[in-house]
């Protein structure tokens, strides 16, 4: 949370960390950062009665940005620890990176951009961003995938669908490229 709020501060915007319904309802944009496991994240969202509130804000057209685990829980289900239902904002699922490379995928890796991307505007092809993850997204609709990366498997690194945006990597830890991504989100 400190990295995310610090990154927003560096681009001149105060980000408020809250699970308060009133604060979330008044927000012009919502960021779902994520560290931990898919089941724990979903249990916490349910425990604090945020699942229906997030769905309501999504339906109201409020821009939502998921980062790392925050991206993963935007999808229908995840297979970390146990099969767990996600928010279901976007069709697809998250599974373990069963590869011959070192897990977790941690460090800098190049982004390969696809067509028409709002979040990655001004981010250059093959620009490096910072990843930390052991599970990866398999989006049902390839058209929503706006960038990918390679690490023993093809990783859907960034997706966009209407007002829902997400990055498997950490823009808040991705130097100037990451700050450009956060600025693009703010402009939405």
Q: How many CB atoms lie within 10 A of CB 49?
A: 10
Spell out the SS3 assignment of 13-27: CCCCCCCCHHHHHHC
- Catalytic residue list: 68, 170, 172
- Looking at residue 116, what is its pLDDT? 75
Residues 136, 138, 142: CA angle, nearest 5 degrees: 135
Question: Is residue 34 predicted with pLDDT exceeding 90?
Answer: no
- Looking at residue 92, what is its pLDDT? 97
Taking the model in full, what pTM does it have? 0.95
Categorize the per-residue pLDDT at 36 as very low, low, confident or very high, splitting at 50, 70 and 90: confident
| Helix runs in the chain, H state only | 2-10, 21-26, 38-47, 51-59, 69-72, 175-187
Average pLDDT in the chain = 95
């Amino acid at each position: 949370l400190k990295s995310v709020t610090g990154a927003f501060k560096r681009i001149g915007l105060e980000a408020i960390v809250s699970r308060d319904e009133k604060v979330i309802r008044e927000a012009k944009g919502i960021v779902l950062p994520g560290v931990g496991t898919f089941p724990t994240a979903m249990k916490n969202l349910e425990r604090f009665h945020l699942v229906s509130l997030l769905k309501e804000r999504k339906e109201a057209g409020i821009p939502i940005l998921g980062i790392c685990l925050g991206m993963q829980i935007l999808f229908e289900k995840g297979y970390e620890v146990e099969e767990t239902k996600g928010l279901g904002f976007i069709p697809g699922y998250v599974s373990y990176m069963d590869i011959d490379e070192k897990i977790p995928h941690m460090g800098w890796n190049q982004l390969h951009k696809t067509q028409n991307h709002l979040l990655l505007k001004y981010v250059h092809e093959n620009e490096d961003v910072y990843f930390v993850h052991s599970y990866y997204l398999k989006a049902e609709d390839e058209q929503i995938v706006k960038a990918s990366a390679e690490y023993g498997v093809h990783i859907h690194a960034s997706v966009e669908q209407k007002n829902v945006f997400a990055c498997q990597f950490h823009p808040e830890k991705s130097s100037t490229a990451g700050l450009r991504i956060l600025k693009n989100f703010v402009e939405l």
